[in-house]
A and B are shown apart, each in its own frame.
Chain A
Amino acid sequence: MFDLQNWTTALHEWMLGILPEWAAILIESVLVALIIITLYAVFAIVLIYLERKICAFFQCRLGPNRVGKWGLLQVFSDVFKMLQKEIIRMRKSDRFLHDLAPYLVVTASMLTFACLPWNKGGHIIDFNIGIFFMLAVSSIGVVGILLAGLGSNSKYPMIGAMRAGAQLISYEISIGLTMLTMVALTGTMQISEIVQQQYDNGWNIIRGHIPALIAFIVYLIAGNAECNRGPFDLPEGESELTAGYHTEYSGMHFGYYYLAEYLNLFIAAGIASTIFLGGWAPLHIAGLDGFNGVMDLIPGFVWFVGKTFFVVLLLMWERWTFPRLRIDHILSLEWKYLMPISLFNLLLMALVVVLGLGININ
């Protein structure tokens, strides 16, 4: 299996040879940050294009097909348009909070983005409470959304932000419980460790069979709600709230929300592929050693991105199938259905682990 650790260690030692330690670490951090930001932008562009095409296909249309071959340049032109737009500031809005809010949203999603396991040895933030850290930093986004509503001095952002706050905080419970279910199965919160276990023993969704599958479905529903997408996009339901909490934003400030929305989709899918579908771990079938060897030749990065885009497809399928819910329906779905199911599921998973009913390859 291709291990990125060898390369990073070699690079670090080469740097230590010509630079003092603090300078080497500084340069490495800047390099890693640049890589993350580039990946962030690239994935946002890919996802926006994908969303437009897939949405069109679900609605029996062709989607963008005029700018460039198959409309490939459409997103680039949209990005450049967004970069040129003026950032409009309203009178009587809280200038500081209004400007701070989009950065908080983007920071939260970038921090979560950095937790994803890209490859063997390709973890950027990885320590023993990785899952908790991921949950914690992804919740900073809620603060950004609430500040946007508060700072805009306008009624639509305010209502949108209140709805978003209620919704995000509720669905975080389901997300947390499903993640805990999988943590109960793996017995560790370190993300690299979780993936390594799945490399050794098979993907979690197979190891944990029934409870893992239930957790996966609950996660898909709650994940879409966490991204403010799909049937749960009423914080920005345009027929009632114009654009919800980002009504008063223009130019790149709006662009940050747009970017964060799509990257949150990628992150939700990335977490799902990490804790359920094995992250960078290739597909192994017990007994077929030749097949497993071939699968090992495919680098972990390809596995991870492939699985993530598969989950993205599932999330988009969900989004473009169901009509938007009402706020009381959203909350009753979470508190009356998803949360009891996840609690019950956690119990089931605990039983499976205690009785040793999980299916391990080795």
Chain B
Amino acid sequence: MENNNYIQGLFGGLKTLCVGLKTTMREFFTKKITEQYPENRETLVMFDRFRGSLVMPHNEENEHKCIACGLCMTNCPNGSITVTSRTEEVDGKKKKVLDKYIYDQGICMYCMVCVRVCPQNAIDFDQSFENAVFDRSKLIKQLNQPGSKCQERKPVAKPAAPKPAAIETSNNQ
């Protein structure tokens, strides 16, 4: 029995070693995945989930979706987002309006919490990664474009309610 195990182990081991050798030999002839960066700058496409830098998408009429709720600011672990708002009077109602959305990329750690908590999907990460500058102050960016205003919300569509939270509450009940 002991001897049998020895022989079986020997041949089983040889077999697995051959599997490993086969795998690496196949890898030897596959196309290499190395990106030769400065040369392929024009054709380089970063993958979708890459977190380059925080942006606030604007539509053609220079409108963004931010309602200046400040959730991103309070949730940011590094305090790299500063949302300043002002109150405007529309149709006799007071309404909070985004004044400045300041993003300090120099202290951002790209955790993407701000994008996750945003109830309006107003901010997102793009794929631009060439952020080298000579002065840190150049990394402090204002994300809302000058003269932009908040998009009119449709009364029915309430986009992207945070689903995990909903499940959690139902579990608690």
A interface, CB within 8 angstroms of B:
54, 56-62, 65, 317-318, 320-322, 337
Contacts and interface: CB of A to CB of B under 8 A. Distances in A.
Contact of B34 (A54, A62, A322, A337): A62
B24 interface: yes
Contact of B32 (A61, A321, A322, A337): A61
Nearest to B19: A321
Interface residues of B, number: 14
A58 B21 contact: no
Contact of A59 (B10, B17, B25, B27): B27
Contacts of B134: none
Interface in B1-43: 10, 17, 20-21, 23-25, 27-28, 30, 32-34, 36
Cβ-closest 8 pairs across A and B: A62-B34, A321-B24, A321-B20, A58-B24, A62-B32, A57-B28, A61-B34, A321-B21
A317 B26 CA distance: 11
B70 to A, nearest CB: 46
Contacts of A318: 21
Contacts of A317: 21, 24-25
A318 B22 CA distance: 11
30 contacts: A54-B28, A56-B32, A57-B27, A57-B28, A57-B32, A58-B27, A58-B28, A59-B27, A60-B27, A60-B30, A60-B32, A60-B33, A61-B32, A61-B33, A61-B34, A62-B32, A62-B34, A62-B36, A65-B36, A317-B21, A317-B24, A318-B21, A320-B24, A321-B20, A321-B21, A321-B23, A321-B24, A322-B17, A322-B20, A337-B10
A65 B24 CA distance: 21
